[in-house]
Amino acid sequence: MSLADKEVPRVLIADDEAPARSRLRDLLDDCRETFPLVLVDEARTGREVLDVLNREKVDIVLLDIRMPDMDGLEAARHIAGMTDPPAIIFTTAFDSYALKAFEVNAIDYVLKPIRLERLLTALRKTRSGPGVSREALDAAANQPRRHLSVHERGKIHLVPVSEILYLRAELKYVTVRTAQREYLVEESLTRLEEEFGEVFVRVHRNCLVARHAIGGFERNADESESGWAVLVKATGEKLAVSRRQQHVVKQFR
């Protein structure tokens, strides 16, 4: 018996529909004979999943893709940033468009109505090999996240994208600035620009500013190569505009 087999995996169910959760409970009961497990909790939205993960140790999440508030795909993208993320098994009713993206990116899923054998196979698979990668999830998602996740001391903290004033690249990290405070996230500024291009505008090689946060532009010759700085409305900070991005000034004035 290997070490992994001695630990009984802790499972979390996530689905917004009560009958779907109860069905999964029944099936997990049936699984126990051949695949011992502990049911940790149940969640109804992606946000609740992250709450549970902050509270409890979870090894496997049975994650419905279509949920209100935060869907399963966005929750999974936040989970993938954890240092020791649980394995994810997506569950979904047939939706050919979304599933094509899953297949292209080699993301496994279980179709509803779920069969016991199929669920067992998926549960066993979580013991071998690495889980689904953040890159695959990003590629499969057809829309930007609504939050960035900050991982501090094993906990996931969500920052709503709508509250972000600007993003500034610093060495390995990106600083996320809201009106209240700053956070560090492990993301690439280029990728963030691709994902949230409608919300942010690039003013400098290392800086994206939220369009709604721009309070104006000021002449500021000493710190900025273009001679312009963008004024952040909520904090009064001034961020340098590079010569290459100088056209932004015209666009907003």
Partner 1 sequence: MAKWGPVASINQTGTGIRLPNFCNLGVMLRSLVVVNLLVAAGAVLHAPGPAAMGTEFMALAAFAEPILFISLAALCVARPVLHALGYVRSIAAVVVFEAALAWVVGRLLGGALPAGVALTAPQLVLLALFATGFTLAYFDLRSRALAPAIAEARIQALQARIRPHFLYNSINAVLSLIRSEPRRAERALEDLADLFRVLMADNRTLAPIGNEVELVRQYLALESLRLGERLRVRWNLDAMRADALVPPLVLQPLVENAVYHGIEPCESGGEIEIDVGVAEGQLRMSLSNPYPGGGRHSAGNKMALTNIRERLQLHFDAEATMRSEVKDGMYRVTIRMPYISAPA
Binding interface with partner 1 (CB under 8 A):
16-20, 22-23, 26, 44-45, 66, 68-69, 93-96, 111-114, 143
Q: Which two tokens stand for residue 129?
A: 């090999």
DSSP state of 227: S
CB of 68 to partner 1, least distance (A): 4
CB of 99 to partner 1, least distance (A): 11
Nearer to partner 1, 48 or 59 (CB): 48
CB of 149 to partner 1, least distance (A): 20
Which stretches of 44-115 are DSSP H helices? 46-55, 72-79, 96-104
Q: Which two tokens stand for residue 72?
A: 């399963």
DSSP state of 112: S
Give the residue carrying structure tokens 């630990």.
Answer: 7
Nearer to partner 1, 114 or 165 (CB): 114
Nearer to partner 1, 45 or 178 (CB): 45
Contact status, residue 85 vs residue 79, Cβ threshold 8 Å = yes
Nearer to partner 1, 96 or 251 (CB): 96
Question: In the chain, what is the straight-line distance between the N-terminal and C-terminal CA atoms, in Å?
Answer: 69
Which residue type is seen at 19? P
CB of 19 to partner 1, least distance (A): 4
